[in-house]
Each structure stands twice: as C-alpha cells, then as structure tokens.
Structure 1
Amino acid sequence: MNHLRFKPEAVLFDMDGLIFDTEALYRDAVIKAAEENGFNIPVSVYLETIGLPSASARALLGMHLSGEVAIDDLWKQASDQFQTMVATELRLKPGLIEMLDWLEEVRLPWAIVTSSDRDTVLSHLLAVNLRDRFRHIVAHGDYTAAKPDPEPYLKAASQLGIDPSRCVALEDSRNGVLSASRVGLMTIMVPDLVQPTPDTQCLCAYVAPDLHDVLAVLIDTLQAT
C-alpha cells in the first residue's frame, strides 16, 4: 500500500471539499441564486469553479451568464444562502478527526492551505470546535497568486520550515493538485464532486476514496521507513 516516495514530514490540507463537506453547499447555493434570478447555471459549469478563489469563480460564472445579470449581486445572494446552509449543514469529512489525532500522536505538523479567506476558515473551524487544532493556516490574502499557482503551498511549507518535497498535500480538486504537484509535494487526491481526469491522476502519488484511506497510507508509509 506504500504509495509515497518517502516518509512525510508534514501534511497540508486543502479545506473546502477535503476538511469540510462544503462544495455541495456552495454548488446548491450558486445554482439556486441563479434560478431565483431567472438564469440557469449547469452543474458542469459550476464544477469548473472548484478550487478557485472567489474572484476567479465569479469571473467564470459571469462569462457563462454573458453579462445578463450583475454577477456580484448574484454572488452575494448565493453567499448569503450558503451561510444559512452552513449554520445547520456544515459537516466534517469522515476520517478527519482520526487523522488529526494520529498526526498529533506521531508529532507530524500540519496546516490548512485554502483558496477561502481567513475569516471563513476561522468561522468554519470555530463552528466545529477545531480552531485550536489548526495552528497554521494559509488562506486567501496570505499569498499573491492563488491555486493552481504553487505559491500557497510554498508559503505553507515555509511557515512550517519544511522542504515542500517532504510534505504531503491532500486535495480534492484539479486546481489544488496542480498547485501542490508543481513544487514537488507528494499529492494525494481525495475526490469530492469531481473525479480526476487521467492527466490529473498522473500528478498524484495516490487517489484515495476518503480520509480513512489516506490515514492508512500514511501509517503504512511511516511503518515502512
């Protein structure tokens, strides 16, 4: 089962769709807001925005709607709807708590590397009582170039003081995989709404069905070294 090149020295987590089961909530909120304004955003179009910062996602959706609606107004409506859904529907991905417990036990550092802004990250973590478990966060605003550029992962590795090639990145999106793999991180994809294409899969050390499986891979790697 050993899919990694060598023992990792840190684990870097994407957030949306990886730590939190939020991508489906974002999808539903955006599609509903469009419908309420008399427009249609196909699921296939929304899926292209996964892993992008909000400004890039808005621009892509605006291109699809061809200027027929003020995209900033629609985005705010969707964001308000999303916040309402988060209040009652925010869920952790299965296996996360077990992984954090194990990382703490074996003393491997970890961090969040996300396209979401810091306020959103902190709000989500506080909602599930996990704020104290994530000391290191690299969020939108902490870097100049967002995923798929490698800068977010370079910044996280630098914060931890660890060579990027010795870090494992956990990602659910193509843009995230591109970001991590471009600087040599050992990348494990845990697909959420979108399954990897063959070219994305080739960039990954492993594609896992869930975080329980990722944990098994990490444990196997440490035991083999």
Structure 2
Amino acid sequence: MSFRRVAAVIFDMDGLLFDTERLYSDAMMMAVTEMGASLSPAAIHRTIGLPAADCTAIWAEHLPPGFDVGAFWSASSANFKTLAETQLTLKAGAIELLDLLANLNLPCAIATSSGRATVDHHLTKAGIAERFGVIVAYGDYAQGKPHPAPYAAAARRLDVDPARCLALEDSYNGVRSAAAAGMITIMAPDLLEATQEMHELAVQVVRDLHDVCALLEGRGRENGSFQAF
C-alpha cells in the first residue's frame, strides 16, 4: 500500500494520542470500590472505545441489581478529572508524529468517543490544540464506535475521501469503526492486545506512534518487526 494514497490522518484520542485509558480504569475502580461493589478489569476493558451511553449498558450487566449506575458514572468522571490534572500524558511518539505530519502538509483530525469539553481540555493542556483542524467528538454523530459514523464524519469535515484517510486506533471498537468507514487503519494497542480480527482489519499493528512515523517515512524498525506499507 503506497503512502501516496494518504491525504489526511485521523487520530483516536484516549489510549492512542493520550495515555488515558489507564486513568479511566483507575477512576472506575476507585468509584465502584467507594460504592461498595466491584468490577473486573475485563468488564472495564469491554467499554474501551465506546461512548458513555453504551458503557452504561455494559456496567449494568456486571454490577449488582439496583446499583446506581448514574452515580457510579458521575463518581468515575470526577475521579478521572482529578487524576488527569496531574497524570495526563501524551503517548510515546505523539509529538514526533504530529511534527512529521505538519512537515508533510497532511491535515489532522480527531474522532473520539469523548465529549468536546474533554477533548478541548486535553489538547489545550498538552499544547497541541492547533494541530487538529477537525474534531469529531461525542454528540457529533448518530452512532458511536464500532459504527463507522465517527470516522465518516471526520472524513466529511476534512473533505477527504475515506479511502485516502489514515486512521490511528488503539481499541477493538475503534479499529472496527475506522475499517468499516473504508479507511487505511493502523492499530497501536494500548490496554488490549491485537487479536486475529484486528490484524485482519488493520493494514499494520505497531507498537507505538514512533512506529507510525517510521511507516510514513518508508522505513521500519531495525529488527524487521514490520514492513512499510
């Protein structure tokens, strides 16, 4: 697959651009413990990449009958905000990749399940808000990931054919969304290891965003763990 096809790059946010999935997991564990219940890591991992409304249905399956899921979500959100104030960090290679894309004159967008206020907070705190000309957040599409709507909306706003968009994702639901939208999809796993399905949907599974830089520059790691597409 030739790099010449790529006319824009669309980033997921949580777990791909920012190291936030661990913070969300910690925030939920804190909240559920404070409320006298428990959630397994596997249950939390099922929600990765999903919008809040879909997460609520999953939590209800794993929490005791009558458990106040709304209060749990509010407590989790408050815990996350507290953690993010001191622990919000970009993923390895994020700045290097954004610099490379700027040098290549490739427009960048974000397609995320997070709300716009959260996106604006994170981008501003990291000093990279100006790097993204298009932001598609929760509420900007009718159906969330794994439906293709978030990525399709980003492509429309960029005015770029989805087939010429490179989508960068860390989650199963995100990869499914981007691939269903017809995009060139790369997975950089975070909390979830790549499955056979992910290898089939993505053109590459890489270790981090440094590897994405290497791919776009037409080179690979010295150990030959992947080939440039």
Give the corresponding residue for 1:119: 117
Deviating above 6 A after TM superposition, structure 1's stretches of 4 or more consecutive aligned residues are: none
Give the corresponding residue for 2:193: 195
- Choose the corresponding residue for 1:97, options 79, 86, 95: 95
Superposed, which structure 2 residues align to 1:164-175 within 5 Å?
A: 164-175=162-173
Matched, 1:135 2:139: no
- Choose the corresponding residue for 2:30, options 23, 32, 40: 32
SS, match of residue 220 in structure 1: coil
**In 2, distance between residues paired with 1:180 and 1:114?**
11
Give the corresponding residue for 1:7: 5
Q: Are residues 4 and 177 of structure 1, via their aligned partners in 2, closer, same or farther at CA, if it must alter by over 3 Å?
A: farther
What value does the CA root-mean-square deviation take over the aligned residues?
A: 1.6
Superposed, which structure 2 residues align to 1:47-62 within 5 Å?
A: 47-62=45-60
- Choose the corresponding residue for 1:214, options 208, 212, 215: 212
Is the CA contact 2:32–2:38 (under 8 Å) kept in the aligned structure 1?
yes
Q: Specify every segment of 5 or more residues in structure 1 that has no aligned partner in the other structure, as ranges.
A: none
Question: What TM-score do you get using the length of structure 1 for normalisation?
Answer: 0.94
Q: Deviations over 1:35-81 (max 9, x none)?
A: 11111100011000000001111221122114341000011111111
CA drift of 1:183 comes to 2.3
Give the corresponding residue for 1:184: 182
Partner AA of 1:170 in structure 2: L
CA drift of 1:6 comes to 5.1
Question: What TM-score do you get using the length of structure 2 for normalisation?
Answer: 0.92
Task: Please say which of residues 43-52 and 56-65 is displaced more in the overlay.
Answer: 56-65
Give the corresponding residue for 1:152: 150
Give the corresponding residue for 1:163: 161
SS, match of residue 31 in structure 1: helix
Q: Deviations over 1:112-161 (max 9, x none)?
A: 00000111000111111111222210111111111111011111111111
Matched, 1:64 2:50: no
Partner AA of 1:150 in structure 2: P
SS, match of residue 84 in structure 2: helix
CA drift of 1:196 comes to 1.5
**In 2, distance between residues paired with 1:90 and 1:4?**
35
Partner AA of 2:204 in structure 1: Y
Partner AA of 1:199 in structure 2: E
Count of residue correspondences: 221
Partner AA of 1:148 in structure 2: P
**In 1, distance between residues paired with 2:37 and 2:2?**
45
Partner AA of 2:163 in structure 1: S
- Choose the corresponding residue for 1:108, options 81, 85, 106: 106
CA drift of 1:7 comes to 3.0
Q: Deviations over 1:205-224 (max 9, x none)?
A: 00000000011101118xx9
- Point out which structure has higher relative CO (alpha carbons under 8 A, 6+ apart): 1
Is the CA contact 1:52–1:146 (under 8 Å) kept in the aligned structure 2?
yes
Give the corresponding residue for 1:76: 74
CA drift of 1:4 comes to 5.4
